[in-house]
Amino acid sequence: MQGAQQFAEFLAQWPTSQAGLKQAYGRLKSWAEALPGARASFLARPGVSHSLRFDLEPRPEGRQRPVFFLVDAVDDGGERFLSVCFYEDEVSDPEDLGNAIPQGLFQETGYCFDLEDDDPQFMAYLHQRLAEAHAAARG
């Protein structure tokens, strides 16, 4: 993974009071890494977010988008939350749990789901969205 050392350092500094959220973060990473062709990178932007990004390798012919899925760990006044994002046109949201963010994902409309703890039902829902985004990205 590109940025593996920074990622390890970031995880080591995770607040112990939010162990469940750290576990959810790790689970999202593991699910994405298990998908065929998924390649991870980590971008630390202290004071903004710490972004775990997934692309496909090789990138499908004609695909210009730099990711199919990303998770931003956002520090919000000493507490963290995860913003789990996809391209709006690559996922569905039958339970209306996400938010469209115009030009929020590489200048395209992103669809983000905020996660504050390791909620098993919400995680299962995100796992379904991840599978959809991966299938859409692969064409």
Task: Give CA 129 to chain center in angstroms.
Answer: 11
One-letter amino acid at 76 equals: D
Query: 116-125 contacts: CB < 8 A, separation 24 or more?
Result: 116/21, 116/81, 116/82, 117/18, 117/20, 117/21, 117/24, 118/20, 118/21, 118/23, 118/24, 118/27, 119/24, 122/97, 123/24, 123/27, 123/28, 125/95, 125/97
Sorting pLDDT into bands at 50, 70 and 90, what band is 77? confident
Read off the pLDDT of residues 16-66 as tens digits, 9 standing for 90 and up.
999 999 999 999 999 999 999 999 999 998 888 899 999 999 999 999 999
77 vs 120, higher pLDDT: 120
What is residue 63's three-state secondary structure?
coil
Q: What's the confidence (pLDDT) of residue 112?
A: 98
What is residue 5's three-state secondary structure?
helix
The helices-and-strands tally (H runs, E runs) of the chain is 3, 6
Q: In the chain, what are the domain boundaries?
A: 4-138
Rounded mean pLDDT of 99-109?
Answer: 95
Q: What's the confidence (pLDDT) of residue 48?
A: 85
Average pLDDT of every residue of the chain: 95
88 vs 47, higher pLDDT: 88
Q: Is the pLDDT of residue 128 over 90?
A: yes
